[in-house]
Amino acid sequence: MPIDYSKWDKIEISDDSDIEVHPNVDKNSFIRWKQRDIHEKRFQRNIEIKSILVQLTTYEKINQRVDYLLEKLGAKEIVDNSLVMSALNSKFDRNDKFDYEKLIQGEGSNLRKGLKDLHFEKEEIENTPPYNEMVEDLFTQIKDDHPATKTDGDKLIGFLKEHRAKIDDVLANQTKKLDDLLYQKSQLIVSDDLHTGFDRSFLNKDKPQQEEEEQKVAPAPSKKTTVTTTETINSPKTVEETPSVQDMMDELTLLPATEQFAEIPINDYSKASDFLIKHPSICTEQQKDALMMSAFDHQLSGDSEKARHVIFQALLLQYIAQLSGSSTDKARVINTVRLFFSKISDKSSPAHNAFMDEVKKTADHIKARCEIIKQERELSNEGEDGDEEEALIQLRALDDKTELVIFKSLSKSSRLMK
C-alpha cells in the first residue's frame, strides 16, 4: 500500500527548513522574512474572516427583523417610529447583538472548522451595536434621504424592500468570499489547528467470578450424534462481511441520507443546499444512479409526479458530482454546492433553464422506457398463460442399430459391482 505524503505539503517554512537561496542572500534572514510574510498574511486573512462573519450574521438578523415589521405593520403604522420600536422590542431582545461565544454555542458542530478558532477582543464585542438599534438607524437613514417616506408608508415600504434586496446581494457575494478565505486557510497547517486527537488509558478489569464459572462449565450434549464430513483440498469457507459504504454505492443501494434528500420539495433550493452541505458524501454518481432507479419504480407504479420529483433531486446530485470531479475533499464539495445553488436558484439565468430542460428530457425518456417495459411484461405474461408442455429427456445412442433397455431396478450383483 503506497504511503501518502501529501499532507506534508501543507507545512509552511520553519527555522530548520532545508531551502536553497541565492548566494548573495543570507539564508537565516530569508527564512525570517518569509515567516514574517506568512504571519502577516495569516493575520490579515483572519481579520477578513472575522469581518465577513460579523457582517453576515448582522445582515441576517437585520433582514429577519425587517421581514417581521413588513409583515406585522401596515403602511400607516410603519411610519410611526414608536410603533416600529415597540413591535421590535416585543418580538426581539433589545440588547441582542453579535456575540461570538453565543454563536459557537448556538451552531455547535454545524459551525465550519475555519470559524471555530477565531479570537474576538472584548472591545470588539462591546462596540457592536444591538440589532434593534441598527434597524432604527436604517429607518432614520431612509427618512433622511427620502423625506417623503416620513408620511408615506407605501414609499417607505418600497425603499425597505429595495434595501433588503441589496443586502441579499451583499450576503451572496460575501458568502463566496468567505468560502474562498476558509479554503485558503484549510490548505496550510498552523498551530491553531493542532489539538489532542485522543488521550485515553485502558485498564483490563477482572471478569466477575460468576462469569468465569459459566465459561468453565460447558453444556452437556442432549444426545449423541454422528456427523460425517468430507475433506477437500482448498475447501471454500463462508465469510460474512459487513458491506462498506463504498460497496453499498457500487451496488446502487440508496443511502438513508439520499432518501431524505429525495423528499425535499422541488425548487426548495435553500433547504436542498443546506442538506447537501451537511451530507456532502451523497453527492456522487452512484447515488444519482440509485435515485434514477427509484424513479423507474415510481413511474412503473403509475406515480409520474413522484418520479419527476426524484429525477429532479437526482440531477442535482449529478451536476454537483460532475462539477466537483472525483475529489473527496469535503470543503471542495461544499464550495461546489454553494456555487451551484447560487446559479441554479436564479430563474432568469441560463443555468436554471438548461437544468429544467434536462429534467423534462430525462422524465420523458424514463416515461417512454417504462411504457416499453410494461408492454414487454404484458407479452411475457400472455406467453406464460399457455399450455405448459412436459419436459422430456430423450436418450439417443450413437449407433442407430443399438437397442436401449431401461431397468426399473438393479440386481444385487449389479449393485455390488465397482
Look up the pTM and report it.
0.41
Q: Give me the residues paired with residue 189 across strands.
A: 11
Domain with CATH 1.20.58.610 in the chain: 247-378
Query: Which long-range contacts (C-beta less than 8 Å, at least 24 apart) are formed by 340-344?
Result: 341/269, 341/272, 341/273, 342/172, 342/176, 344/269, 344/319
User: Cell numbers 456555487 correspond to what residue?
Assistant: 339
Class of domain 247-378: mainly alpha
Tens digits of per-residue pLDDT, 57-107?
A: 888 888 888 888 888 888 788 888 888 888 888 888 888 888 778 787 777
Per-residue burial over 4-32, b if 16 or more Cβ lie within 10 Å, else e, is eeeeeeeeeeeeeeeeeeeeeeeeeeebe
Tens digits of per-residue pLDDT, 327-366?
A: 667 888 888 888 888 888 888 888 888 888 899 999 899 9
Kindly state the percentage of the chain with pLDDT values over 90. Answer: 6
User: Cell numbers 471478569 correspond to what residue?
Assistant: 207
| Per-residue pLDDT, 414 | 54
As given in the structure block, the three cell numbers for residue 145 are 434621504
Helix (H) or strand (E) holding 133: helix 131-145
| Per-residue pLDDT, 101 | 80
As given in the structure block, the three cell numbers for residue 116 are 471555530
Query: What sign does the CA torsion over 368, 374, 376, 378 have?
Result: negative
As given in the structure block, the three cell numbers for residue 247 are 460497496
DSSP per residue, 43-58: HHHHHHHHHHHHHHHH
Helix (H) or strand (E) holding 162: helix 153-186
What backbone phi and psi angles, to 5 degrees, belong to 396? -135, 130
